[in-house]
Structure 1
């Protein structure tokens, strides 16, 4: 079962209209944020019902700039789902390895997502170290367990849009990356099917069908599967936010810098445009495979 370890702002006070502010320390106010910026962020969340889930294999796989843009720039309810806690990786700052490193990396990830301003979930899959092949990874992981876990999260979190970091084939490289992509693609298809994992009904989780599934364009660029006519959605995460005093890429880089055991985030994000490119690979919306201006084209996300 997935473990929820971070919660976004659930309620806030504004000019005495609502009495009380509930902010969870895990993902609420980032270091250096002003009261004005946090009030504005809460107000943004009253303007949209949009919900996004981003799936990855390990801590630091995520597109933090995109997550920050969604949450802090657009007011979108946003979650990150990591298949593992990264306990099979290296440790550049201390002697902790395996389970102990998993604890270190979990704490690092919690620090990072405070900057992104999002929810964070993990599965129970163990990072057993580098794997070259998908079949090798699935020999060690229970595929049905992974699928059930992600479907459970989708039914719980009810995202309109899912963004997979990986496409689920050899071009993803690491076997864990391939598995993350494969599970995400299938979970998108089965989460709305009441005959799949019906035990969720006893937990109060109803079937839920996300409307759109994207994959990060960088993976597609390496695959060579796109054509000149393939529509690509481009989001400028280098956009400057005057209230926060930084661009979304710069904020995300600050968060990423807390993942010190992996030596990531040591350089600052440069100023100026920084494009994230996304490819729509599945949707339940008719006639949606066309150039888009927004992740939410074709969706009603109004209050």
Structure 2
């Protein structure tokens, strides 16, 4: 895996690493698929070191430990595969797909509950709260949590817009962002090069970039605020459950920032729904 080899080389940089750390890195490069799903003890056996060396190697590379690094390796490995290959990877299992899918989402939420950087979530909420406007840029599956963030953000009285359509429209929106604005994006699995380039355009113009991502992607590296979420599904598409949960947390923080104002805005919204007959209360 050339991408993983280069990524690990970039993390090491000019530093000299010990034999144990080098053995761990070489084991990951030699078989990123098995390494991505291995425990620290299993990887240690393959590398010919002990589990403590695996943990130290992960920390030297900038991660809290092996679980943090293995998640990054796994997401990078999966993002390098074709959609067909990912489907084949999971369809070989004859277990109940419904139970598998729901069970996997539960495991992802449990993982996120202990690994989520809640300070980053609060920082993302504060960026939206204090920005003149926020534009959420996304493509594909992740338009779902993006739509929720934009829609409910507007319900709360914030200027939050979604851009998930034509590339020219997305470019125009990014060009209009500047100091005091927020460029918000979801960078999961296979991120389009357009979103990455637009994030760079917006940042150069002074906008604050917030990214929800499943790995330290190019967009995540650009971000002023980065929120890592697990996304490995049990099918040929990633799970959006954790991204939705984080989006809902951001919205709750926005609502609670000024509860009196939130109550007033929601009361006004209820009145407008009733007056215009928008909501069917059967």
TM range (shorter): under 0.3
TM-score for the superposition, normalised by structure 1: 0.25
Structure with greater Cα Rg: 2
> Which protein has the bigger strand share?
1
Which protein, 1 or 2, shows the higher relative CO under an 8 Å CA cutoff with sep ≥ 6?
1
> Which protein has the bigger helix share?
2
